[in-house]
Structure 1
Amino acid sequence: MSNGGDHDAGGVTQLTLLDSFVGYHLRRASSRFAAGFSESVGPLGMRQVLFGILTVVHDNPGIRQGAAGEALSIQRANMVSLVNELVDRGLIERRVSEVDRRAFALALTPAGEVLVEQGLERIRVNEDALLRTLSPAEREQLVSLLSRIEG
């Protein structure tokens, strides 16, 4: 016999308290985007952090390694190993900076350029699928609102 506190296995689980928190929805949405990234760009051998570095270098050829890390909030020690991984894979070249001889400047190799273009196309397809119910204006508004939270 069931007591009044048991949840029927066939019923809908209520999330009334969680449903009121923005953070809950952000985490769930983030999980969907991360899974989509892994499915679409993972086969290229990319993790989000590595692809982030590649895109920052793509947009800022010759950027100092430290500045790229700062832009992505990657600690210096972690940035060194991540850039080493990209260098070892032939996707980034590390050169001595012409501005500061003590720093390294980063540039994409031709293979890195190709990988960025392939990855961007796959990410666009994934995002279009996830955001298909939003209009272009709503997408812009979503990015704007999230950017304000990021600070």
Structure 2
Amino acid sequence: MTARGKRGLQPNMSAEQPHLGALESLVGYRLRRAWIAFSADFTSAMEGTGVRQVPLAVLSIIAANPGINQGATGRALGIKRANMVALINELVENQWIERAIDANDRRALTLTLTPAGKAVMADALQRIATHENRMLSDMEPAERSLLLDMLIRIERRNPAAEAEDSGNS
């Protein structure tokens, strides 16, 4: 009896590797599976550092925009205000960032990296470069660039991002 007749699988398919059916061609499914693989490898790359993806994203925004306020940082990443407060508190407690009252708006707090935060970022970026090279090792530079471009185009379809962009124009 063939594998197909026995379990409804295609010929040469094992019970451990069934056909995905409609999922085979669904971009959303493939993006999710790629994200799972990328996320697991990222976690492995950062093991022992105490650095997680979202706090690292916050550090990256602050590093690229010294003195940015907490609200703008959260908006750039799509992080809700209540969650942003907890993240900023965590980064301050880790001594990776410093808060200061914004001279132009005394209700706002500006954020800058500390020397320890800069060191964390440098180490994380080195680890991420290795991680991304490992995950994308079978892609040519032009393919990586095309993938990044396509992902950015998909990201721009996010209605929440469009609302944020139009509010900042």
What TM-score, normalized by structure 1, do the two folds share? 0.93
Instruction: Show the counterpart of 2:145.
Output: 140
The CA deviation at 1:43 is 1.8
Residues 3 and 63 from structure 1, CA distance in 2 versus in 1: closer, same or farther, beyond 3 angstroms? closer
Structure-to-structure mapping, 1:111-122, within 5 angstroms: 111-122=116-127
Corresponding residue to 1:96 among 97, 101, 104: 101
Code of the aligned partner of 1:122: R
Deviation at 1:10, TM superposition (A): 3.5
**Aligned partner of 1:68 among 62, 73, 88:** 73
Deviation track 1:6-29 (CA, whole Å, cap 9, x = no partner) reads 357935411131011000110011
CA distance in 1, matches of 2:110, 2:127: 28
* Counterpart in the other structure of 2:25: 20
Deviation of 1:142 (Å):
0.5
Cα distance in 2 for residues equivalent to 1:59 and 1:138: 26
Tell me whether 1:57 sits opposite 2:62 in the alignment. Answer: yes
Counterpart of 2:128 in structure 1 is: 123
- Work out the percentage of aligned pairs sharing the same amino acid: 45
Match of 1:10 in 2: 14
Distance in 2, Cα, partners of 1:117 & 1:139: 22
Distance 2:93 2:62 in 1: 16
User: What is the alpha-carbon distance in structure 2 between the residues aligned to residue 38 and residue 122 of structure 1?
Assistant: 10
Q: Which has the higher contact order (CA 8 A, sep 6+)?
A: 1
Match of 1:36 in 2: 41
Describe the shift of the 1:53–1:42 C-alpha distance in structure 2 as closer, same or farther (beyond 3 A). Answer: farther
Distance, in Å, in 2 between the alignment partners of 1:22 and 1:120 is 28
What is the number of equivalent residue pairs in this alignment? 151
- For 1:118, the aligned partner's letter is D
CA–CA distance in 2 between the matches of 1:40 and 1:98? 39
Give TM-score scaled by structure 2 length: 0.84
